[in-house]
Amino acid sequence: MIHYNIFSPYSSSREGLFLRRAHASLSCLSLRVAALLNLAKIAIGCSAKAAALVLLFLVLLFPCVACGDVSVSIKLDRKEATLVDSVQLVVSVSGSRSSDLQPIVRGLEGFNVTQGGTASRLEIINGKVNAGVDYTYFIQPKQPGRFQIGPAEVTVEGKTFSSNTATITIIKQPQASGVDRGPLFLSAGLSPTRAYVEEQPTYTARLYRQVKVSDISLDLPETEHLVFKQLGKPLEYQSVLDGKTYQVLEVRYALVPSQEGLYTIGPTRMTMTVYQPRRRTSPGLFDDPFFSDPFFSFSTGRPMTLASEPQALTVLPLPETGRPADFSGLVGRFDVESKLEPTTIKAGESATLTVLLSGRGNVNRIPNLQGPELSHTKVYADEPVLKVETDAEGLAGTKTMKWALVPEKQGHYEIPPLSVSFFDTTTHQYRVIKTQPLSLSVLRGEPGMLQASSQRADEHPSEGPGKKAVKELGRDILPVHTSAKDLAAGYRIRPGHVLSWLVLMVPPFLYGATFWGLRFRKKSDQSIAVIKARKAAKKLIQKCRKGKISSSELALSLRDYLNERFDLALGSLTPDEGAAILRSKGVSLKTAQRFQSVLHRLEDAVYTGKGHERCDSLEEVPKLIKQIQKEMR
Amino acid sequence: MTLLAFLLVANGLGAENQQSEALFFRANEAYKEGRFQEAVDGYSQLIQSGHETGHLFYNLGNAYFRLNQIGWAILNYERARLLMPRDADLNFNLRYARDQTQDAVPESQGVMNTAFFWLDTFNLHELFWGFAVFNVVFWAILMTRLLIRPAWIFYPILVVLILWFIAGFSLGLKWYQVHSDERGVIVQEEISVLAGPDINDTVLFKLHAGTEVCHERSEDGWSLVSLPDKKRGWVKQEAVERINGTEKGANFSGVI
């Protein structure tokens, strides 16, 4: 038995369904927000607070990002329903989190419509922010028939956007069986019950329930030469059977028979935990209708296994009559398209022939077609790409095949049609479908291109689906340079030329010149000071040697000497100041004290009224000045 | 008088430039119309007249390639590469021309070229001017230190000194490479490499047009050449052309 785990617990009431949907939407949103938060935390590698700020920024940023590209789509949860069923219709708006008005959905005249709520979406996929809003409706058909629903129209910021359409077939309610099957049962169906080998009839298992269940798992029957392929996700909807409302869980499979014969498909089994409301034995405080609400119904779960009824399937062999010689086993409904780009090229260049073979059925058996055979043309085939999808109707797919055509001569080339045969399950006949004949105009090629065209074309294999290595179809040298400026030598100063040495030598020369200039200036300043000092000393010594100088004049001359010698501007000079100045200029203590002593004597002479008399220290002063000069050198 | 003399010289130079441009356009036209020998003559004449630009050597290489003279084509591409080493067209054509040669010769990559990997990317002029710029910056920053002695000057001086040293060393190395470039290209379709400079000597191996060799020395119309895998031998002097040498009478020093 094949075992499937399907669902998590949920309740059975319609209100519960709405609540659950809203909860699912909210959970989904909260999960996305949590994921966003984690993403932001990882991205910035810091605290949750900072991550929340980033998230807030993203959310605030989002409307600006999203409004640019709005799209609307509608989706039904089923393509077939009965008159008593409730079908879910979702109008999804992408690129905006709000619309100006509620969506207007065309084609709902034959249905009773109930609003099912609104849910916002915010996603970041591969760094691209996408947001949207889903409007949910539940529609109940008024009459049987085939209905086209849509397009839905949504207005965002004054602009109206239209959606796709969806089709649903409404059938009459099946006849009441007259058998009460209870609040929980499993049903199975097969359509059609007669099929050809490799055709894919649909097997549907439905769980009808009026009670709360959880932990559902499904065991499919195993039958030799029959393979089950699940079609899409399980569906959940509400339906009425024998006058009772059920919540239905529907799972669809494509059955692929590989051999003819009569098959009995055994019962499908579903295992689950069922929750029954507990009955109170005596009336009391809670014996009020308010407390009979399921919310207050305390229940216990018990495991249960349900089995469906077995199904019979007749598998017919594919007919021998009319079978094409090249039949590859393809069964279903298929179409073929082809295109050639470009349709006019030069000899040696390449054009791409693309053939798309698409349809429903055993798409995995779509054959790889042989490329066209053309004279004077090299044909290089790409790796075919098969894309398979499943939906409620079965398997569908498209195989894309490409060829690079490289004509070697100019002329007009007719590309013959490519054909493929299959067994059509609608008409029960073999069919051969062909591509349209295409034509290619080839002009005269560039010289040197033809012989070089093909040698490396098939050296690089394709790298992944959708992309392939660039094929080198020709090799040649690139053309000559023809601009007149290409003639100019460009460099006027050449390395090794006198000017080049000049360019290199100018900066160090300037530096050297500045360096020596500064040094010379410093020396000059010092020289001037020395000369001034000498002059000052000479002047004082001469005055002393003349012998006719009074004490007051000598005191003034010593002051002037210090002023000139050290570039000072003293108005008067005390003995202590004189000694301090000399000490500060580097004169020894002894000499400074001698200087101080001379000044003291001169001061005494001036203050005792002998200032105008000839000075006694005239012989000592020149020696003292010479000593100062010597120590200052 | 001086002004008149200046005007006469300027006028003469202008006329010479016009002639060169006319010759250049004629050579281009000849190439375009498939008269490749005429294009070769035109480009060679321009090179011999002093227009030794990378573009002209490139065009000359193209013209030789069209004449199916792969050896001369590679020789001129290599000469162009000394002057414009990063030119995409040139590198593409040189690679393609090398693909057309017959001899598989291993490529040798010196230690210095590996360490100073950018030497192949720049020509001598560019390295010279690069060094000149660093030289100015270096002395300017020293001057700043001399005049205002700012506190932040130490690290800039250190960085600029390192760059100045690298640029100077690169320039010196490139200078040496250019002036001691002994590479040559076989320009004849097929030649026999002999054990000695005599036609009767033993044939050691054969080389084909476009193969790059190292030219060691020449004696009496013979050249001693060697390959990176240490194969050595003598070939007729006219069979090998030095990249940094003389081409059909035109001196090319690689330093333009």
Q: What is the pLDDT of residues A284-311, one digit of tens each?
A: 444 555 445 544 455 667 788 888 888 8
Question: What residues contact B49, with CB distance under 8 A and at least 6 apart?
Answer: B20
The CATH number fitting domain A331-443, selected from 3.40.50.1820, 2.60.40.740, 3.20.20.70, 3.40.47.10: 2.60.40.740
We find that the CATH architecture of domain A10-171 is Sandwich (2.60)
The residue of B17, B53, B176, B252 whose CB has the most chain A CBs within 10 angstroms, and thus the best one to mutate to test that interface, is B53
**Cα–Cα distance for residue pair A357/A400, rounded to 1 Å:** 7
The CATH number fitting domain B183-245, selected from 2.30.30.40, 3.40.50.11060, 3.90.800.10, 1.10.287.810: 2.30.30.40
Q: Classify each residue of B12-21 as buried b or exposed e, where b means 16 or more C-beta atoms within 10 Å of its C-beta.
A: eeeeeeeebe
pLDDT in tens, A471-518: 777 788 899 998 877 777 655 667 777 888 888 899 999 999 999 999
**CA distances from residue A119 to A12, A58, A64, A124, A151 in whole angstroms, order as listed:** 22, 19, 20, 17, 20
Give the count of beta carbons closer than 10 Å to the beta carbon of residue A329. Answer: 13
The confidence score (pLDDT) of residue B65 equals 95
**Cα–Cα distance for residue pair A393/A231, rounded to 1 Å:** 8
Coil/strand/helix, residue B192? strand
> A402: which strand partners?
A354
The confidence score (pLDDT) of residue A447 equals 57
Inter-chain residue contact A490 with B65, CB threshold 8 Å: no
> Residues of A with CB below 8 A from B21's CB?
484, 487
Kind and range of the H or E element at A352? Answer: strand A351-361
Q: DSSP states of A25-65 as a string?
A: HHHHHHHHHHHHHHHHHHHHTS-HHHHHHHHHHHHHHHHHH
Max mean pLDDT among A82-86, A174-178, A447-451, B32-36 falls in B32-36
Domain coordinates in residue numbering, chain A: 10-171, 184-278+292-316, 331-443, 519-632
Q: Classify each residue of A85-98 as buried b or exposed e, where b means 16 or more C-beta atoms within 10 Å of its C-beta.
A: bbbbbbbbbbbbbe
Inter-chain residue contact A487 with B175, CB threshold 8 Å: no
Q: Give residue A43's pLDDT band: very low, low, confident or very high (50, 70, 90).
A: very low
Q: How far is A618 from chain B (nearest CA, A)?
A: 48
Domain coordinates in residue numbering, chain B: 2-99, 113-178, 183-245
**Cα–Cα distance for residue pair A327/A33, rounded to 1 Å:** 53
Of B121 and A242, the structure prediction assigns the larger pLDDT to: B121
Judged against a pLDDT cut of 80, whether residue A103 lies above it is answered with yes
- Phi, psi for residue A16 in degrees, rounded to 5: -60, -40
Nearest to A536 by CA among A598, A625, A616, A454: A625
Inter-chain residue contact B128 with A488, CB threshold 8 Å: no
Judged against a pLDDT cut of 50, whether residue A554 lies above it is answered with yes
The confidence score (pLDDT) of residue B27 equals 95
> Residues of B with CB below 8 A from A484's CB?
21, 24-25
Mean of pLDDT values over B76-82: 93
Classify burial at A476, counting beta carbons within 10 Å of its beta carbon; exposed 0-12, middle 13-18, buried 19 or more.
middle
For chains A and B, what is the number of CB pairs under 8 angstroms?
87
Judged against a pLDDT cut of 80, whether residue A23 lies above it is answered with no
Inter-chain residue contact B20 with A487, CB threshold 8 Å: yes
Nearest to A475 by CA among B195, B105, B99, B118: B99
For chain B, percent of residues with pLDDT exceeding 70: 88
Coil/strand/helix, residue B56? helix
The residue of A446, A455, A487 whose CB has the most chain B CBs within 10 angstroms, and thus the best one to mutate to test that interface, is A487
Domain B2-99 matching CATH 2.70.70.10: the answer reads no
Inter-chain residue contact A511 with B58, CB threshold 8 Å: no
Q: Which residue has the tokens 């669809």?
A: A252
Question: What residues contact B194, with CB distance under 8 A and at least 6 apart?
Answer: B201, B202, B203, B204, B233, B234, B235
For chain A, the average pLDDT equals 76
Contact of A73 with A59, CB cutoff 8 Å: no
Please give the single-letter amino acid code of residue A68: G
Choose the weakest-confidence range: A160-174, B70-84, B229-243: A160-174
Residues of B with CB under 8 A from a CB of A: 20-21, 24-25, 28, 31, 34, 39, 46, 50-53, 55-56, 58-59, 62-63, 65, 89, 92-93, 96-97, 124-125, 128, 131-132, 135-136, 138-140, 142-143, 146-147, 171, 175, 255-256
For chain A, percent of residues with pLDDT exceeding 90: 3
Of B179 and B74, the structure prediction assigns the larger pLDDT to: B74
Please tell me if residue A459 touches chain B, with a CB cutoff of 8 Å: no
Nearest to A336 by CA among A362, A369, A381, A365: A369
Judged against a pLDDT cut of 80, whether residue A133 lies above it is answered with yes
Window A:485-504, CB contacts with B under 8 Å? 486-491, 494-496, 500, 503-504
A437 cis-preceded (ω within 30 degrees of 0) = no
**Cα–Cα distance for residue pair B209/B100, rounded to 1 Å:** 10
Q: Give residue B15's pLDDT band: very low, low, confident or very high (50, 70, 90).
A: low
Inter-chain residue contact B63 with A480, CB threshold 8 Å: yes
Q: A48-66 and A14-44 are packed helices; what angle lies between their axes, rounded to 10 degrees?
A: 110
Inter-chain residue contact A514 with B147, CB threshold 8 Å: yes
Choose the weakest-confidence range: A297-301, A559-563, B207-211: A297-301
Q: Give residue B24's pLDDT band: very low, low, confident or very high (50, 70, 90).
A: very high
Nearest to B125 among A475, A484, A495 (CB): A495
The residue of A477, A483, A501, A518 whose CB has the most chain B CBs within 10 angstroms, and thus the best one to mutate to test that interface, is A477
Nearest to B55 among A486, A504, A514 (CB): A486
Mean of pLDDT values over A551-569: 81
Q: Give residue A568's pLDDT band: very low, low, confident or very high (50, 70, 90).
A: confident
Nearest to A316 by CA among A262, A267, A354: A262
Q: Give residue A36's pLDDT band: very low, low, confident or very high (50, 70, 90).
A: very low
Q: DSSP states of A450-464 as a string?
A: TTTSSTTTTSS---S
Q: How far is A475 from chain B (nearest CA, A)?
A: 8
> What ipTM does this complex have?
0.81
- Phi, psi for residue A188 in degrees, rounded to 5: -130, 150
pLDDT in tens, A323-355: 888 888 888 889 999 988 888 888 878 888 999
**Cα–Cα distance for residue pair A361/A200, rounded to 1 Å:** 7
Nearest to A216 by CA among A270, A255, A266: A270
Q: How far is B217 from chain A (nearest CA, A)?
A: 25
| Global confidence as pTM | 0.42
Residue A146 corresponds to which tokens in the numbers above? 């085939």
Angle at B126 between CA B123 and CA B132, to 5 degrees: 140
* Residue of chain B whose Cα is closest to the Cα of A519: B146
The confidence score (pLDDT) of residue A618 equals 72
Residue B37 corresponds to which tokens in the numbers above? 């020998």
Coil/strand/helix, residue A389? strand
**Cα–Cα distance for residue pair A557/B124, rounded to 1 Å:** 72
Walk across the sheet containing B212-219 and list its strands.
Answer: B203-208, B190-194, B232-236, B222-226, B212-219, B183-186, B240-242
Kind and range of the H or E element at A5? Answer: strand A2-7
pLDDT in tens, A452-477: 444 444 444 444 455 667 777 778 88
**Cα–Cα distance for residue pair A399/A365, rounded to 1 Å:** 10
Contact of A130 with A161, CB cutoff 8 Å: no
**Cα–Cα distance for residue pair B49/B64, rounded to 1 Å:** 19
Of B89 and A102, the structure prediction assigns the larger pLDDT to: B89
The confidence score (pLDDT) of residue B4 equals 52
> Residues of B with CB below 8 A from A496's CB?
255
Contact of B256 with A494, CB cutoff 8 Å: yes
Please give the CATH topology (third level) of the domain spanning A184-278+292-316: Immunoglobulin-like (2.60.40)
The confidence score (pLDDT) of residue A174 equals 63
> Residues of A with CB below 8 A from B92's CB?
477-478
Q: How far is A513 from chain B (nearest CA, A)?
A: 10
Q: Give residue B60's pLDDT band: very low, low, confident or very high (50, 70, 90).
A: very high
> Residues of B with CB below 8 A from A490's CB?
53, 125
Q: How far is A440 from chain B (nearest CA, A)?
A: 29
Q: Which residue has the tokens 């329903």?
A: A81
For chain A, percent of residues with pLDDT exceeding 70: 78
The confidence score (pLDDT) of residue A526 equals 74
**Cα–Cα distance for residue pair A328/A472, rounded to 1 Å:** 34
* Residue of chain A whose Cα is closest to the Cα of B164: A504
Mean of pLDDT values over A113-130: 75
> Residues of A with CB below 8 A from B125's CB?
490-491, 494-495
Q: Give residue A15's pLDDT band: very low, low, confident or very high (50, 70, 90).
A: very low
